[in-house]
Homo-oligomer: A and B are copies of this chain.
Amino acid sequence: MKLLEDRIREEGTVKPGDVLKVDAFLNHQCDITLFDKMGEEWARLFEGTRIDKILTIEASGIGIACMAARHFQNVPVVFAKKAQSINLDGEQYSTSIYSFTKQKEFPVIVGKKFLTEGEHVLIIDDFLANGNALNGLLHICESAGVVVEGFGIAVEKGFQGGGDALRQRGYRVESLARIRTMDATDRSIEFY
């Protein structure tokens, strides 16, 4: 999606350690007009696919997912919570995700009543790198018996392999900006 790629080129910052900062428009300050266009684009890409619900993970996915839902007949958005500790009361699907950014493992939960067996789900998130967070959401979706129709991703760091691993497992991954290489020394970014 040229609009997002251009924005990343203009306002994104490549930092050492394969970090791409897009906090000016995507995940700290949110450009609502951009989010709306992104939602429109995912709706175009998934046109004809049954989507009953959008699943995302707090915090940065929420705004994007809510704005996107408008373009999917206002389906409900469920966001997985990063819990302090897993309350194993049986009312929640839970899994554990390792975050390279935060260098630690954290539990993620979704209330069982918010994912119903047989529902068709679109998973939306701001970033896809190694795929740990999305694999955690997939694990929850498998536990719930929902049908994952695909992934709507804003920025995929293609060189980190998480997206291709999902594609090889047969999942549809629609990344609006897919980065082939990026370089912190000359701050260059090349898209697929």
Contacts and interface: CB of A to CB of B under 8 A. Distances in A.
A66 B64 CA distance: 8
A75 interface: yes
A34 to B, nearest CB: 9
Copies of this chain, whole number: 2
A137 interface: no
A-side binding surface: helix, strand, loop or mixed? mixed
B66 A81 contact: no
Interface in A132-189: none
B114 A77 contact: no
B77 A63 contact: yes
21 contacts: A23-B114, A24-B114, A28-B78, A28-B79, A28-B81, A28-B110, A29-B78, A30-B62, A30-B78, A31-B76, A32-B70, A32-B74, A32-B75, A32-B77, A58-B62, A59-B59, A59-B62, A59-B79, A62-B63, A63-B63, A66-B66
